[in-house]
Structure 1
Amino acid sequence: MNIVYFGTPAFSVPSLRALIEAGHSVKAVVTKPELGRRAVPSPIKTLAEAMSLRVIQPHSVRTPEFIHEIRDCAPDVIVVTAYGKILPAGLLKLPPLGCINVHASVLPKYRGAAPIQRAIMAGERETGVTTMLMDEGVDTGAVFLTKTADIGEGDTAIELTKRLAALGAELLIETLRGIEQGTLKAVAQESAPSYAPPINKEDCRILWLRPAREIVNLIRGLCPVPCAFTFINGQRVKILKGVVSKLPNEDHRPGDVVKKDHDGLLIAAADGLVSIEELQPEGKRPMSFRQYLSGRVNAKEEILRVD
């Protein structure tokens, strides 16, 4: 097939590589432009250039000039994997076989921009990947195929993203094969949907009034970016790893520092304790709590306040 591929983050990389390895002709790769003085190429741009593929980086996908540029590529199908922008009707209707999206959830659950993070944050034990025929809604198109994947108790967003990206690449090739052979038809979504809106700053702040398990799920779901955070003695600190402690909460108030030593920082939540094992103070590298204590003057005597 002739394909134009839309993608941006690391999640997009395995699917593009799989298309090339399967013998499809990728006429162009569309990715978001770099922004800012220290901007770096997206993972998908880096791979595309390494494969000597044509790269297009429009500031808008809605201009007649861009749509004409894609039409000139004569794609049989457009494949979209975590591109980061909504495609207009003019693009959706352009390829004869339509636009296929690889989405990191079992639709209609977790429609939207952050399905992996939101699934972990919600304490889900299972998720998956869906290929769908795109329409003008947000992840509302008819479904081709789905595959499920377990979410481990300790999985972080980066670990789950890698697994789902590999699963999505396999599912994409299987989907294209079924379309080519005429054995696969998209089926409308039927059950009640749930949503995965973009992560904002307020989503990332740890509220110690929440249950301990919810706080740990938040930390896992936002690791390594943008990261859950709290304030320790007024300093904003990212929390990279935390676990629910087996020790009982002996009537401590949420946010109380119950214990601090080289084994970790124990903080009271609504119904238990959370042990903070890895963190990152502003302007510094990630470190264990042991390293954090070692870098503070009078660490043993210092009273830590968390809020």
Structure 2
Amino acid sequence: MRLAFMGTPAFAVPSLAELVAAGHEVVAVYSQPPKPRGRGQKLTPSPVHTFAKALGLTVLTPPSMKAPEAMAAFAALDLDAACVVAYGQILKPEVLAAPRLGCLNLHGSLLPRWRGAAPIQRAIMAGDRQTGVQIMQMTAGLDEGPILLSEVVPIGPEETAGTLGERMAAIGAGLWPRALAALDRGGLEPQPQVGEPTYAAKISPAETRLDWSRPAAEVDARVRGLSPRPGAWFEAPGPDGPVRMKALASRLGLNDEGGAPGEALDEGLRIACGDGGAVRLLRVQREGRGAQDAEELLRGFPVPAGTRLG
């Protein structure tokens, strides 16, 4: 097929790789414009942009797909379909209708649960036991289109948004050749979404600070759902004042000692929570430093039993 691919983050890269490997003609790759990153604020292309350039594909980075010139250029591509994975821009009806088979989107949830920007993080933070990847026909509404192909993905008890996202990206990529082939021969009947929708809003900064007074299962889910980015954070007392740290991995523990919320129950970062439970932090990152396993951190930054975390 003659395709355009529209995607930006690393989550979308396996899908582009699968479409190219399947022999489709990807005539254009759309991605968000390069953004300033790092200490030098150097303009840096997105992961999809970088990967597409390495394959020798044409990359387009219009600031807005709503601009008349961008919509006209897209229509002029004379596409069979556009494959969209976390592109990051709203597509107007004129764009959605331009390809022969329309625009298709790979979404990281079992719709209508977790429509929106952060479905993987929200699923873990809510304590969901499973999620999924789905290819849907795009419509003007936010993630409201009918489903073409779907696969359920279990969520492990210590899964982070990072590890789950990597698995889902690979599974979702494998759906594309099947969906396109079946759609082209008329073998796919789009299925409407069924049930009450829930919405996966972008993660706000206010959500990233850990509240040790919450139940242990909720604290654990927040740590894992926000890892590796943006990261759930807390403060630990240091020799020169509070030290901000991110918690990047955790598991549920016991609070047999009856410690108060936020209290370290042993020398290994087992922290009491508000329901009489506890969470053991397995991987952490001090502000301005790299991520470390808890054992490594504690060799140079001990957190004795009885320490109160903020």
- TM norm structure 1: 0.93
2:250 equivalent to 1:246: no
Structure 1 portions without partners, runs of 5+: none
Q: Which amino acid aligns with 1:35?
A: K
Q: Which stretches of structure 1, 4 residues or longer, exceed 4 Å deviation after superposition? A: 299-303
User: Of 101, 109, 130, which residue of structure 2 is paired with 1:97?
Assistant: 101
User: Is the 8 Å Cα contact of residues 102 and 137 (structure 2) preserved in structure 1?
Assistant: yes
Quick check: 1:305 aligned with 2:305?
A: no
- Check 1:58–1:249 CA distance in 2 against 1; reply closer, same or farther (3 A cut): farther
CA–CA distance in 1 between the matches of 2:282 and 2:48? 33
**How many pairs were matched up?**
301
CA contact (8 A) 1:112 1:138 kept: yes
Q: Is the 8 A contact 1:249 1:268 kept in 2?
A: no
Corresponding residue of 1:14: 14
Q: 2:225 aligns with which of 221, 228, 240?
A: 221
Aligned CA RMSD, in angstroms, stands at 1.7
Matches within 5 A, 1:194-209: 194-209=198-213
Deviation at 1:303, TM superposition (A): 7.0
CA distance in 1, matches of 2:210, 2:43: 29
User: By how many angstroms is 1:222 displaced?
Assistant: 1.2
Q: Output the CA distance in 1 between the equivalents of 2:303 and 2:44.
A: 42
| Secondary structure class of the residue paired with 1:188 | coil
Quote the Cα distance in structure 1 between the aligned partners of 2:249 and 2:28.
Answer: 39
Indicate if the aligned counterparts of 2:155 and 2:164 stay in contact, CA closer than 8 A: yes
5 Å-filtered alignment, 1:103-252, equals 103-233=107-237, 234-250=242-258, 252=259
* Counterpart contact for 2:263–2:306, Cα < 8 Å: no
Q: CA deviation at 1:301?
A: 7.5
Q: Is the 8 A contact 1:249 1:273 kept in 2?
A: no
Q: Which runs of 5+ in 2 are unaligned?
A: none
Change (3 A) 1:108 1:41: same
> Any idea what SS the aligned residue of 1:258 has?
coil
What is the TM-score when the length of structure 2 is the normalising length? 0.92
* C-alpha distance in 2 between matches for 1:63 and 1:300: 55
Shift of 1:220: 1.0
1-structure distance, mates of 2:91, 2:118? 17
8 Å CA contact retained: 1:143, 1:186: yes
Distance of 1:78 and 1:181 partners within structure 2: 17
Deviation for aligned residue 1:177: 0.9
State the partner residue of 1:46: 50
Q: How far apart are 1:117 and its partner, in Å?
A: 0.8
- Contact 2:108–2:134 at 8 Å: present in 1 too? yes
Letter aligned with residue 33 of structure 1: P
Give how far 1:300 is off. 7.5
Aligned mates of 1:129, 1:278 — CA distance in 2: 28
Counterpart contact for 1:242–1:278, Cα < 8 Å: yes
